[in-house]
Amino acid sequence: MLRLVNGAQTVGNGWPFWSSFIAVLAGALVYPMFADSYDVGNFAYFLIWVFMAMGLCLMWGYCGMLSFGQTFFFGVAGYSYGVLAIVLGGGTMTVLALVLAVLLAGLSALVLGYFMIWGRVGGVFFGIVTLSATLVLAFFLGQTAGPEWAIGEARLNGFNGMKGMDPLNIPWFEDETLYFEGASLYYLAIALIVVVYLGLRILLNSRFGNVIVAIREDPQRAELLGYDVRKYQLITFVVGSSLAGLSGVLYTSWGQFITPGSIGLPAAAMPIVWVAFSGRGDITATLVGSFLILFAFQTITVYSQQAALVLMGGMLLATVMIAPQGFVIGIARAIGRLFRGRGTGNATSSHRGS
């Protein structure tokens, strides 16, 4: 049930894991057929944030770069999509707006990452710099309420948030348009998660994945072995940040608005909690755990937002003190030991019987 891949404990092994993956995917695909539209829309909302968590898992869990900048790139891409969707118009232009917005988030990560990584900013200071960039962006967007803060017909609107952009949509048949809202957005999120998850698994099990894990364990030794550590770190940072940008675009399309509140300090801390609680050393644990945490957080927020925030803090504290490797990985280890114990017991019984 658990195996060591690229120096990290990995949930799943062989056929049992992939059969479970197919079963969960099949259940996710048929879920909208039995649920009401409100619940489907909520589940689409939860899935949107998973890309950000997987990107942070790639950077922090596999490459050792703790970034508080996920919401920075989330905001860059979200606001970029809003501006481009309004300026370029609807239809296939919204798909072009998505692509350009994610590319802008990646370009921002390339510039910021270059100055940090080539400047030898590492450890806790890497987190401080990325957090500072996030807070600066949130502060800047908060003071853009005046009419002068506009790009074409797109107004930023300060703390009130930007709105008026079209959701993702494409022409469908002759006179029909497919809007990615509700069930269609849910299926789009599922498809993108499958593609991103499988792509990350391939990447992490390749030579590139071996190298970034080696950099996490001992960057000086990796450099002495002839690897360009800064290049690998920069690529990892750009990929992980672009995934946060994808979350930002889908969030903006989902609600047709975005505010500076989705970028500030509380929002910036959330991905850290999701990934730490789930298990930063495994992309599968992050995928599963983040979705479950988001579901629980949203359920509790309905009754009390303060209680939900206290729960998030408690979860992070419990993770640090009780399960530093993550609770999802810890549960998977316990299940793995249970199955191994049963297998050993059955083998012993068979041997005695013979």
Mean pLDDT of 297-313: 77
Model confidence, pTM: 0.88
Domain range list for the chain: 36-267
Mean pLDDT of 337-342: 66
Residue 77 CB neighbour total at 10 angstroms: 31
CB 183 within 8 A of CB 32: yes
Distances in whole angstroms, Cα of residue 225 to Cα of each of 5, 119, 208, 336 = 20, 21, 14, 35
Gyration radius (Cα) of the chain, Å: 21
CB 168 within 8 A of CB 179: yes
Reduced to 3 states, what is the DSSP secondary structure of residue 163? strand
- E strands in 50-94: none
With 90 as the cut, is the pLDDT of residue 114 above it? yes
Counting residues of the chain whose pLDDT is more than 70, the rounded percentage is 88
CB 72 within 8 A of CB 100: no
- Gap between the Cα atoms of 128 and 67, Å rounded: 8
Whole-number average pLDDT of the chain: 86
Reduced to 3 states, what is the DSSP secondary structure of residue 302? coil
Mean pLDDT of 129-158: 92
Q: What is the pLDDT of residue 4?
A: 40
**What are the phi and psi torsion angles at 218 (to 5°)?**
-160, 90
Helical H segments across 143-264, by residue range: 183-204, 207-217, 219-224, 229-255
With 50 as the cut, is the pLDDT of residue 251 above it? yes
What does the pLDDT look like over 12-31, one tens digit per residue? Answer: 555 566 777 788 888 889 98
What does the pLDDT look like over 176-211, one tens digit per residue? Answer: 788 899 899 999 999 999 999 999 999 999 999 999
With 60 as the cut, is the pLDDT of residue 10 above it? no
